[in-house]
Structure 1
């Protein structure tokens, strides 16, 4: 009879992964110039993402501005979907480029401009108008994020060895968590009762600075020439995407798993909004959320990154399982909202558990997708999967908006159940890519 361990991690699949990884990870970590630049850039961009996080900072800011709840509910779907959906159209143009770094720099410039526009919206406007302008600024930001997402993985694949990619990603996540711990602690202890707009805009100003520093650092990365091909027409691109989905079983199963795991991202805003309705918009409670998210990222980054180099499949299963269980914990918290457990610590604690799991989902899926293909095929994988997930998130946003009267507990149950289904789907369908011999140290593997 199979044990629980065998159920989660089939021995025939993961033993080979672990054996191969141990032989590779015994070698010293190669601290090349490109690795240091990639790591530092990722550290800055991840920190900027946390400082302009739609789940916490933007949700809190729009609530303090008096923006309607339905606008706040669109923050996560807009940021996530519009950073992925356009990649389907961008991929053909990007594939024609020998070097992908300039495209990333363009995307970083757009993201920096988007953050600056959010900053101005929060400073000058309030109510529905301010919320609408901030949401439009997030649209601009997300389009730049799409460019960086599709090209960043290509450049990472060219410059970092396969056996080190998970750890680089994880180390950057942990490093950004350390930086955000200081900001969260400052907000909680020094600006605890501050309700002024200036203190709420400070994170966006710092995010703008991080994007500027990341741009100059990334520009110095040495990228080698890659594959190119002529841009495809929209019709040809669509046919190619459908063909890839039908013929590539691993890719199709990955897309389904990733769609189910979007629940880990959609859960978070409901914790923040409910907390704000109880405690008010003071900076101290926002600092608690930032601190909790930073602590989760600091703990999770290196843990998930190291595990992803052994088996990104295993990371996807564990992280998605934990995200689902975190959702059930949130459901319990909502049911007990009027009891003695309603404290300012309860919401950040639940949020911390969820972010720990969500970071694992992100590290696992990024590592799996980078290792799944190389060259232009990797570009196709990234653009097609991101576009499908972007469309899926828009559908969820529309559905939630039309069912605006649905209890929060039902939404939590739905999103948490999606994560649990994702765990089961990964276990049933996805292979361990890291077991492949002879490719782990190849930059373009």
Structure 2
């Protein structure tokens, strides 16, 4: 049996449908190489997601900065810069990318850029201390976010050109699940070594490993067989980019999707408050870290493939069900805080709840990615991704203010507030059209 036949056979089994050769929304040339592209993309996404998990900006980077005696005010910039920095420039980036008939190289460039920045942070960890280390890490993180933005814009466009509509959810699901296996291993490692503090040199090795994963991801991604796409458009990048904001006015479905996506940020924004609640009610912080990492990895492993396949049937419903899980869970935690607060002191309670939250978050993430790619075709897709991500980036910049509410309404109150936003998002999502 030839290599191509084996790949085709495995692809048909993985998508689990007789019409595995169906090609919706891609041209005939791309259709002939879908199985190969499918597995190449899964492998590259796997290493990309693995690198993201190893270099976690919510856990690993803050620990490094704290061990280097970096001032708290610089540490507080980590998550906003990492998330918003990769989203805000995308309107301008997309204007240049749309002029390129082949766009996979942009993703590769972004992946290599992330690798170099992460290796740079690893060097900082073993050479600098204090405020100098803080500014160096923040500067490298800004560059990292810009590289991440390149990959983000290019990724959805390349997938839209190379993978049929009814296979895109499975693609995201399988890659997230595979990465989840090694994240589980990382969580177990922290549990086993719970009483041994990590030194800056240990973190440097960890971040260098993440950089290596991004390099591998870029090399693998470069092997995708991508055919020339649309290249119309041009003019001054900034002018053209901001003109694209008119899509929000003229395209009702896209506008509704962006508003819904913004409200569904409740899942990712509430996650840190779960961790803080657990820490405030337990002395086993180091073991808790391992349990939370383990919970996240297991949620990815078990739920992502299911959400992915479901997304190819209805990505709209996947978003709704994921948000429903997160919102109901948040309401439950609020009432638990009101009437059964002693349960928080049981070390495994919050990690289990975080596991459920992560399942819901996976549904929202996979569902909205699949929905956005399927919502438009050609260069319109690039514009949708850029406009959506830029606006979400702006919202994320201001989302940090939500944390200030904790001094007024408690941590559980903040989670309840975010859950209410999620419910509003669900009501709006019910108005979105089915597009699969």
Residue 18 of structure 2 is matched in structure 1 by 27
C-alpha distance in 1 between matches for 2:325 and 2:73: 28
Residue 349 of structure 2 is matched in structure 1 by 346
Residues matched between the structures, number: 407
Render the CA deviation track for 1:232-287: whole Å, top value 9, x for unaligned. Answer: 32234322322x11111110000000010111111122333454566679754322
Render the CA deviation track for 1:109-161: whole Å, top value 9, x for unaligned. Answer: 11112222332344444555544443333222211111101001111111111
Q: Does 1:430 align with 2:429?
A: no
C-alpha distance in 2 between matches for 1:338 and 1:373: 47
Alignment of 1:158-169 (within 5 A): 158-169=161-172
Distance change in 2, residues 1:210/1:281 (3 Å): farther
C-alpha distance in 2 between matches for 1:219 and 1:113: 17
C-alpha distance in 2 between matches for 1:62 and 1:333: 34
Render the CA deviation track for 1:180-217: whole Å, top value 9, x for unaligned. Answer: 1122112212x121113244555423311210111111
Residue 441 of structure 1 is matched in structure 2 by none
Moved more, 114-123 or 307-316: 114-123
TM-score normalized by structure 2? 0.85
Q: Does 1:411 align with 2:414?
A: yes
TM-score normalized by structure 1? 0.84
C-alpha distance in 2 between matches for 1:367 and 1:275: 33
* CA contact 1:319–1:357 (8 Å) conserved in 2: yes
* CA contact 2:99–2:232 (8 Å) conserved in 1: yes
* CA contact 1:59–1:269 (8 Å) conserved in 2: no
Which residue of the other structure, out of 226, 229, 247, is the alignment partner of 1:226?
229
Distance change in 2, residues 1:201/1:270 (3 Å): farther
Gaps of 5+ in 1: 1-23, 435-445
Residue 5 of structure 1 is matched in structure 2 by none
* CA contact 1:170–1:302 (8 Å) conserved in 2: yes
* CA contact 2:244–2:387 (8 Å) conserved in 1: no
Residue 328 of structure 2 is matched in structure 1 by 325
Structure 1 outlier segments of 4+, above 6 Å = 401-404
1:393: Cα distance to partner? 0.9
Render the CA deviation track for 1:354-405: whole Å, top value 9, x for unaligned. Answer: 21111111100000000001110000000011001111111223x3477684
Which residue of the other structure, out of 302, 312, 317, is the alignment partner of 2:315?
312
Residue 242 of structure 2 is matched in structure 1 by 238
SS in 1 for 2:311: helix
* CA contact 1:104–1:148 (8 Å) conserved in 2: yes
Which residue of the other structure, out of 420, 423, 429, is the alignment partner of 1:420?
423
C-alpha distance in 2 between matches for 1:262 and 1:297: 18
Which residue of the other structure, out of 181, 185, 189, is the alignment partner of 1:186?
189
Residue 45 of structure 1 is matched in structure 2 by 48
Distance change in 2, residues 1:76/1:281 (3 Å): farther
Residue 12 of structure 2 is matched in structure 1 by none
Moved more, 176-185 or 196-205: 196-205
Which residue of the other structure, out of 38, 57, 60, is the alignment partner of 2:60?
57
C-alpha distance in 2 between matches for 1:278 and 1:119: 33
Gaps of 5+ in 2: 1-14, 22-33
Q: Does 1:356 align with 2:332?
A: no
C-alpha distance in 2 between matches for 1:194 and 1:117: 25
C-alpha distance in 1 between matches for 2:416 and 2:204: 33
* CA contact 2:173–2:305 (8 Å) conserved in 1: yes
Q: Does 1:302 align with 2:305?
A: yes
Distance change in 2, residues 1:353/1:401 (3 Å): closer
Alignment of 1:146-157 (within 5 A): 146-157=149-160
Residue 137 of structure 2 is matched in structure 1 by 134
C-alpha distance in 2 between matches for 1:256 and 1:376: 22
SS in 2 for 1:99: coil
Moved more, 162-171 or 274-283: 274-283
* CA contact 2:121–2:204 (8 Å) conserved in 1: no
Distance change in 2, residues 1:336/1:141 (3 Å): farther
* CA contact 1:194–1:282 (8 Å) conserved in 2: no
Residue 252 of structure 2 is matched in structure 1 by 249
Q: Does 1:101 align with 2:104?
A: yes
1:38: Cα distance to partner? 0.6
C-alpha distance in 2 between matches for 1:401 and 1:184: 27
SS in 2 for 1:267: helix
SS in 2 for 1:82: helix
| Larger relative contact order (Cα-Cα within 8 Å, sequence gap ≥ 6) | 1
Residue 267 of structure 2 is matched in structure 1 by 264
* CA contact 2:406–2:414 (8 Å) conserved in 1: no
SS in 1 for 2:364: helix
C-alpha distance in 2 between matches for 1:127 and 1:348: 33
C-alpha distance in 1 between matches for 2:211 and 2:258: 32
Distance change in 2, residues 1:110/1:50 (3 Å): same
Moved more, 150-159 or 45-54: 45-54
* CA contact 2:277–2:344 (8 Å) conserved in 1: no
Distance change in 2, residues 1:80/1:106 (3 Å): same
C-alpha distance in 2 between matches for 1:402 and 1:349: 26
